[in-house]
Every structure is written in structure tokens, then in C-alpha cells.
Structure 1
Amino acid sequence: MHRVCPVCGSNAVSRALEAKDHTVSKQTFEIWGCQDCSFRFTQAVPSPENIGKYYKSDTYVSHSNTKKGLVNRLYHAVRKRTLKQKLALVRQATGQMEGNLLDVGAGTGAFASVMQAAGWKVTGLEPDQDARHNALRDYQMKLEDLSHLFDLNGDTYDGITLWHVLEHVHQLHEYLDTFKRILTPDGSLIIAVPNYTSFDAQYYGRDWAAWDVPRHLWHFSPKSMEVLMKKHGLRVIQMLPMKFDSYYVSMLSEGYRHGKGNLFRAFLEGLNSNRKAAGDPKKFSSVIYIIKKADV
């Protein structure tokens, strides 16, 4: 139970809402927020040793590669396009066509495979054994367990990517210290996370699918992300939107709110969220943060 903000240390924290685990346990969890830096965090989360069972669902697409259900089929259709966009983004953020890349939380290896095919030397880390097995089977990608992170050599990686991963890690500060250590002097840390200050988050409230408790331990706003990075000698140099996320999250949220999905309404709400956020990446459903070492 956190009595002070895990990011800024303020004791001005209080209960913000209660959200339900719709994926596995059907339990409810409190989400608290900091009045000073705007960071939010899930209370009373399972320990690292016990949280694995909350990922054991056939519908958890990042681990299983499942195409069951309309939402997951649409996810796979969109992923083909977004993987190409991520490759282009890594090249733009690092200023390199090839280099050393660390993909943290590599899932079933789809992104790591694309980067390797494009000439990058890729190290992929993934905590879930089944996902690592699927990566080897589907993409011939040998991923290592996440525990290897802290043993990696310093000043090694031109790019480090976390696609919807940072919100899952218990050792938040230890991870960020390690990322700074293993980045090359001009390397780029690329972090994508849900944005609870987005318009779709406001619309769906406690039913917003990207709360995803208790798997999401942390809930970021652009302000809190900047505060967190500064704490670790890093700086956010650019924020970019993940425009497809509003549609995917809205499809899930519709099911949570009404007991069944409504594809048309979800599309409208996703579109509405993106329209309202137009021109301001800080308001999109998910935000990609391009981060550099602050002392460079």
C-alpha cells in the first residue's frame, strides 16, 4: 500500500477511483492519484511472484498471439501497419538505419522480428515463458527472460523500446536507472503507455479498458512522465500519438460498460477521442515518449 507518491514522494495522495479486472479475476482494485505530479497507481497489487496468474487468459493477445474474437482479429490486422510505423519511428528517433536495439517486454516477438529483418541487432526480453515459446515458434526469435536486464553491459544500446510495458513493471525506478546506464550517450529510450488524461479515458471512466488492473501497476499522464524521467537524469524530447489505440481501447471499454461490444459505437468514440486530441499528442489515448539522457 503506497502512502506517498511513488514518483515524486508527495504525501498528497488519495483514492481516485476503483476499477475492475475484466480479463481474469473480476476483482476490483483501488487506483490512487498524486495531487502534485498527477501520477496514478494501483493499490494492493499482487507481488511479482503472484501476478503471473493475472495474465493467464486466452484473450491476452500480447502473450498468446490469439485471433479469437473480433477485437483480437482487428488488433492483428492493424498490427501489420503499426509494426512498419514503429520501425520508422526507431530509425527517426535514433538517427540510424541499423544499430543495437533492446526490446523490453517483447511479447511474442513480432516487433523484434521486424527490427531484426531490417538489419538491427536485437535483444528481446520477455518475462512470460509461454510468450517466449510462441516467439520462437512463430518468428524464430529467441527471447531472454526479463531478469537478464540488470546484467546487460553499459553504453550498449542505440535504442530501447517498451511498447505498453512500463506500466507493468514492479521495479519502476530500478528499470529506469538501468535504461540510462545501458543506453549509448546519444541513444533513445522509446516508451509507449496509456494516457489516463485522454478523452476516451474521461468518457469511459472506471470502465476505461486501459486501467487494466492489476496488470497495470502505474498510470501515466504526460506531466507525471516528465517528472519521472527528470528524477532519473532523463528528459522527454518528444511526444507522439498512438492513434489506433483509441479504437482498440474503446472496443474493449464498450464491452466492459455494456456487457457486450458495440463496434459502431466504439469506432465513433475512438474517432471522437482522436478528433478532440488533434494537434495535441498529450491528449491521445496512448502516448509515445522519445527520451534522451539529460546530460547529453
Structure 2
Amino acid sequence: EEKPVVEETGNRTAVQVFILEGFPAAQHLRSLFFLVHLLAYLASIMGNVLIISIICVDHRLQTPMYFFLSSFSFLECCFITTVIPQLLAIFLSGRQAISFAACFTQAFFFLFLGATVFFLMAVLSLDRYLAICKPLHYPSIMNSRMCFLLVAACLVLGFLFMAVPVIMLSQSFFCGPNVIPHFLCDFGPLTNLSCSETRSIEMLFFNLALIVLFSTLIIAIFAYSNIVVTIVCLPSAKERQKAFSTCSSHLIVLSLMYGSCVFIYMRPNQASRLDTNREAALVNTVLTPLLNPVIYTLRNKQVHQALRDALSKIKLHRYQRNNAPSL
């Protein structure tokens, strides 16, 4: 027996189940979209797991920068897993029912992990700033204990910033309709379905999102403006190229992340832009996580070398196993 989507509360009804609308204009392309997004999801997971594995096994990459990169890859895997499996289910069925509790759980983890990634990118910017601009103090400042504390601080800040507005919104009243014009339970579409007055919650979320995005952006701008000045002053062209190569991939990833998130969240009025948000959210949840491992591996010579060494060891191991004398 199908679960009712509403339950009676006095003279009003409370929504128990939401319906994720997905992409109704592209229903005829559902099978193609399912295949494309499945492949993108698998490629993102495998790319990030590859980066984590290479960093763990290669002692040359066990430095603060690569510790933060491996943490970033792990968060990316968690981030896309909160969204893409649900998106694949929508492509299979056309639209997808999701319970009230599951919807707000997804919204929380989506926002919590997203905010944590931005704080971690700010930490990566500071790490590059210290390594390039303060090389003599870098080893004493960025020790293993400090690295763990910084990652833990990113998680705590992400949790604190996103938990409050999501909990407040979950306690407001939803009396119908229950169709979310999106492929995930994001904050904006949920506020539009609430029957309660959500203006104060929307403004709180907008201000918190503003703090997350612009505080981390200011840190990144401070770090990279100082890095550029330091790189320009380096006497050797080879040193300048090496310093720039360690930062260029990070700058590309920052541009992709900030571009899509500013477009989605930096306007308080959500209702008029839900359709455009769906496309922007696809960039943020599918395209950017797919490109990040590619950017970090293709533009990083140390990762290149670590991958080549790992492949050489695998080939050598297979050769020795195939040519081992039989007893």
C-alpha cells in the first residue's frame, strides 16, 4: 500500500513525502541522461579514489598540500554520493518520491559537505601561501597536527553554518504542494514549499552562505595575490614555472566552484530562478567533481610521476609473477 504524502494535523495536512520533479522537459532523453550521469559518477569516484590511493602509497606525496588534496577528494566522493544516486533514480523513473526526513537529511549533507569543501579550499590557499611566501616557517607551522586540526575545523565550521538553517526549515510547516522542481532537496526549493513564514530563515541562510563564500574567497584572493607577487620576484624562470604549476590547478577548481555556487545562492529571492538553478546545480554536482581529479592529475607533475611509478611497479610485479619459475 502506497504511503500517503500528507497526514491530517487538525484542520490542515502535513506533507510526509516530497516528489523530486527532475527534468520534465527532457523526459524523452531519460535513458541517455541516465547513462551519461552514471558514467560521470563512476569516473568521479574512480578519479578521486585514485588520487587518494596515490597520495597514501607514495611517500613523496605525503606532504601537507597532498594531505589536504586527499581530504578534498574524499569530501568530493561524499558530496556527489549525496546527490547523483538520487538523480540516477529520477532518470530511471521520471520523478522520484522521497520522505520528509530523507529530503532534509539530503539537504543537510549537501550543504554541509559543500560548505566544508569551500573552507578546505581556503585552507589549501593558505597552505600554498605559506609554502611559497614563507618557506622558512612553513615546516614548523604546517606540521601533521596542524593539518589534522585544520581539516577538523573545516568540518566543524561546515556543520555549524549549515545545521542551523536546515533544522529551522525542517521545523516549519509543509501543507502542500509537495512537488520539488529540482533533482535534489536544496534549500531554496524547500523554502518555496513551506506554508510557514520563512523570510527570516531565508535571510539567515543567505547571510551564512554569503559568509562561507566570501570569507573563503577573500582568503583565497589574499593568498594568491601574495603568491603572484612572490612568484614574479623569483630570480629563476624554472622556479617561477614550478611555483605556478602547483597553484594553477587549484585556481581552476576555485573558479569552477565559486562560479556555480555564487550563481545559485547569492540572490535571496529563490522562486524566480529554480529552472536555471537546476542547470547550475548540475555543474556543481556532476561536472565540477568530474573535472577536479582530471585537473589535479593532468596539471601536476608530482602526481604524474607518482602515477608512472605506480604503473611501473604494477607492470614489474605482473612480469615477475608471470615469469616466476614453477616448482
TM-score with structure 2 setting the length = 0.23
Higher relative contact order (CA 8 A, sep 6+): 2
Structure in which a larger fraction of residues adopt helix: 2
TM-score with structure 1 setting the length = 0.25
Structure in which a larger fraction of residues adopt strand: 1
Which has the higher Rg, Structure 1 or Structure 2? Answer: 2
